């Protein structure tokens, strides 16, 4: 385990160093992480809403059962069947407790949905901020590359101008040297 921990720590350190040296990649990694968090949060909200819908259906069903047993309690009392009325009353009370539990569960789901939606808004806001920073970094990087290219082009233009100037100068020197040699040869021949 120690070797794997050391290797893991080493790789994490190298990754952090690489990202520090390449901040645009760090922003892209952060953007990807935020996209995944947004996607996970959207899935969670969808799942919670599905659970909420099921919970509402269960509450409605329980309410209908409570109503049915309430009517039975009244019928049994009207018919002087206290034995049935008492049993129906107990069933109605059990259903009321169950309905209250389901209502509490649904309220908990609603709270979790609200918290998840708030989280989603924060993630989306953070993602927009990071996207803006990434765009700024991209613009700055493109500007630096353009400036570097123009400096390189300026340097190569100067070199080529110098080379062109050198060729002209070379031609002048050759012409002058040739002329000079001819002059010297003429002088020697005249002697």
Q: Is 26 within 8 Å of 19 (Cβ atoms)? A: yes
Sequence-distant (≥ 6) Cβ neighbours of residue 72 within 8 angstroms: 84, 88
pLDDT 10s digits, 47-83: 999 999 999 999 999 999 999 999 999 999 999 999 9
Nearest to 85 by CA among 59, 62, 100, 93: 93
Local confidence band at 153 (pLDDT 50, 70, 90 cut-offs): low
User: What's the sign of the alpha-carbon dihedral 186, 189, 190, 191?
Assistant: positive
* 78 vs 160 pLDDT, higher one: 78
pLDDT for position 171: 81
pTM: 0.61
Distances (CA, A) of 86 to 2, 67, 90, 91, 184: 68, 16, 6, 9, 142
pLDDT 10s digits, 15-44: 677 666 766 677 787 888 889 999 999 999
151 vs 119: CA distance, rounded Å? 47
pLDDT for position 157: 54
pLDDT for position 165: 52
Tally of CB atoms within 10 A around 114? 12
pLDDT for position 2: 66
């Amino acid at each position: 385990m120690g070797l794997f921990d050391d290797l893991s720590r080493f790789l994490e350190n190298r990754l952090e160093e690489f990202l520090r040296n390449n901040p645009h990649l760090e922003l892209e990694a952060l953007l990807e992480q935020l996209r995944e968090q947004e996607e996970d949060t959207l899935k969670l909200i969808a799942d919670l809403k599905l659970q909420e819908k099921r919970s509402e259906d269960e509450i409605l069903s329980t309410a209908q059962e409570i109503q049915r047993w309430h009517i039975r309690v009244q019928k049994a009392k009207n018919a002087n069947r206290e034995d049935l009325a008492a049993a129906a009353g107990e069933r109605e009370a059990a259903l009321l407790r169950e309905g209250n539990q389901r209502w509490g569960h649904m309220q908990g789901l609603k709270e979790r949905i609200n918290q998840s939606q708030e989280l989603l808004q924060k993630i989306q806001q953070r993602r927009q901020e990071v996207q803006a920073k990434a765009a700024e970094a991209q613009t700055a990087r493109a500007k630096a590359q353009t400036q570097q290219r123009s400096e390189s082009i300026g340097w190569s233009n100067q070199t080529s101008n110098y080379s062109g100037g050198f060729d002209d100068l070379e031609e002048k020197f050759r012409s002058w040297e040739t002329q000079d040699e001819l002059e010297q040869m003429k002088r020697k021949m005249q002697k």
